Structure 1
Amino acid sequence: MDAAPEWLRRLAAAAAVMDVPRIIRPPASGGRRSAVLVLFGDGPDGPDLLYIQRNEGLRRHAGQPAFPGGKIEDSDGGPVGAALREAAEETGLDPAGVDVLGTMPELFISRSQFRVLPVIAWWRKPSAVRPVDIGEVAAVERIGVADLADPANRLSIRYPDGHSGPAFRIGSMMIWGFTGLITDRLLALGGWERPWDAATVRELPKGAA
């Protein structure tokens, strides 16, 4: 595979300085440092993104789709190392085939108190992926950007605290919450966003919170 395409380099540069929505803006202090891998690849129908679906039995974020990632360990050497290590542990991907282009601003998940640094990367040499840590990961999916941008797959979800946010229903997977917000911003920054019905808000399905 070739080096990262120019469109992704432009997206990574724009994402590095994007405005952070208030709902995921980190506090001045506190929280646990973590990182996620926002991995773009060259799919059969254009660019795609790698997602995992967390196991239903987890104490935090049970059943939720997410980008691969987790807590930054001292041995990781920082967020990039953590994102690649976690992605390899969760999906089996080979980090040697991944080119890191940059990071987004630090974001915050208030419910779990994680300070998250998304690492944007290009899948230069894709490897087979699957749920490796089956205690934590139920599914691994590559989802096309065109499917994410399709207005028919987009919706707004109201959370129990009264806030609402963007969500995406692709096959059996519904991407919402923190991951939905990041996905929404990536579509806008990449110029893929299409008009969709954001005014109609649906309640979060029972058991999804």
Structure 2
Amino acid sequence: MNDGAEVGRLRKALAGPMPASSDFDLNPGVQLDPGRVLRPAAVLIGLLPGPAGMELVLTKRSSRLRHHPGQIALPGGKIDAGDGSPEAAALREAEEEVGLDRRTVDLLGQLPPHETVTGYRITPVVGVIRAPFAPVPEAGEVDEVFRVPFAHVADPGRYRVERRQWLGAWRNYYAVPWGPYYIWGATARILRGLAERVQA
């Protein structure tokens, strides 16, 4: 499938209604506080043409970070008061974290918000990078910027359910490894939501 057809498929996938997702989807027995307050955040699902099709930009968080050190993540972070929208926040964070010029990104749409176990309400923003991109990892925040074939993460069959103990209880989660990169948790759940829509 050529890049134009892939972008068209993405636009169509993002146009219809979609249910929200959360880190608790695979753990229905968890009781959530109905009065909980979630912090707004946004991430960029940034795609760009590669030699064998569209590729997804991901980061490996710094091993020196206090929270989620060394984990694979989409570029993004908290929505600041001055951002104005999740799209603006996702583009700003991507520019800060990986050196992506926000002017080179054509936004295609959003996925529904995703709730994390750490109390964030993340809006995933999907965009296509239309210019050559040489990543510049933010010192102290990002150890590595790499690409994964979009065909890999857009295939629901590539995902598996794994589990580990968290806060004294077993927690199930999605994982979609690629080579040496272990993509799991919120990042994998967000990407699986997109994969389900693309393949529908």
> What is the rounded CA distance, in whole Å, between the counterparts of 1:152 and 1:67 in structure 2?
21
Tell me, what secondary structure is at the counterpart of 2:193? helix
Unpaired stretches in structure 1, ≥5 consecutive residues? 193-209
> Which residue of the partner structure matches residue 183 of structure 1?
191
Unpaired stretches in structure 2, ≥5 consecutive residues? 26-31
Q: How does 1:3-18 map to 2 (within 5 A)?
A: 5-14=7-16, 17-18=17-18
Tell me, what secondary structure is at the counterpart of 2:56? strand
After superposition, the Cα gap between the structure-2 partners of 1:176 and 1:22, relative to the gap in structure 1 and judged at 3 Å, is closer
Tell me, what secondary structure is at the counterpart of 1:89? helix
Shift of 1:147: 3.3
User: How many positions carry a matched residue from both structures?
Assistant: 188
> Which residue of the partner structure matches residue 120 of structure 1?
126
Query: 2:174 matched to 1:166?
Result: yes
Shift of 1:21: 3.7
After superposition, the Cα gap between the structure-2 partners of 1:3 and 1:69, relative to the gap in structure 1 and judged at 3 Å, is farther
More displaced, 28-37 or 55-64?
28-37
Tell me, what secondary structure is at the counterpart of 2:170? coil
After superposition, the Cα gap between the structure-2 partners of 1:141 and 1:6, relative to the gap in structure 1 and judged at 3 Å, is same
TM-score normalised to structure 1 length: 0.79
Shift of 1:80: 1.0
Tell me, what secondary structure is at the counterpart of 2:47? strand
> Which residue of the partner structure matches residue 34 of structure 1?
41
> What is the rounded CA distance, in whole Å, between the counterparts of 2:15 and 2:157 in structure 1?
29
> What is the rounded CA distance, in whole Å, between the counterparts of 2:5 and 2:97 in structure 1?
25
Tell me, what secondary structure is at the counterpart of 2:192? helix
Q: 2:112 aligns with which of 105, 115, 122?
A: 105
Tell me, what secondary structure is at the counterpart of 1:8? helix
Dislocated runs of 4+, deviation >3 Å: 1-4, 21-29, 147-155
After superposition, the Cα gap between the structure-2 partners of 1:189 and 1:151, relative to the gap in structure 1 and judged at 3 Å, is closer
Q: Are 2:114 and 2:122, in contact at CA under 8 Å, matched by a contact in 1?
A: yes
More displaced, 62-71 or 155-164?
155-164
After superposition, the Cα gap between the structure-2 partners of 1:95 and 1:22, relative to the gap in structure 1 and judged at 3 Å, is closer
TM-score normalised to structure 2 length: 0.82
Letter in 1 for 2:141: E
Tell me, what secondary structure is at the counterpart of 1:75? coil
Shift of 1:33: 1.0
> What is the rounded CA distance, in whole Å, between the counterparts of 1:95 and 1:35 in structure 2?
14
Shift of 1:126: 3.6
Q: Are 1:4 and 1:124, in contact at CA under 8 Å, matched by a contact in 2?
A: no
> Which residue of the partner structure matches residue 75 of structure 1?
82
More displaced, 81-90 or 150-159?
150-159
More displaced, 5-14 or 43-52?
5-14
| Backbone CA RMSD of aligned residues | 2.7
> What is the rounded CA distance, in whole Å, between the counterparts of 2:93 and 2:111 in structure 1?
18
> What is the rounded CA distance, in whole Å, between the counterparts of 1:11 and 1:123 in structure 2?
18
Query: 2:152 matched to 1:143?
Result: no
More displaced, 77-86 or 99-108?
99-108
Q: Identity, % of aligned pairs?
A: 37
Q: Are 2:23 and 2:186, in contact at CA under 8 Å, matched by a contact in 1?
A: no
More displaced, 66-75 or 122-131?
122-131
Q: Are 1:4 and 1:122, in contact at CA under 8 Å, matched by a contact in 2?
A: no
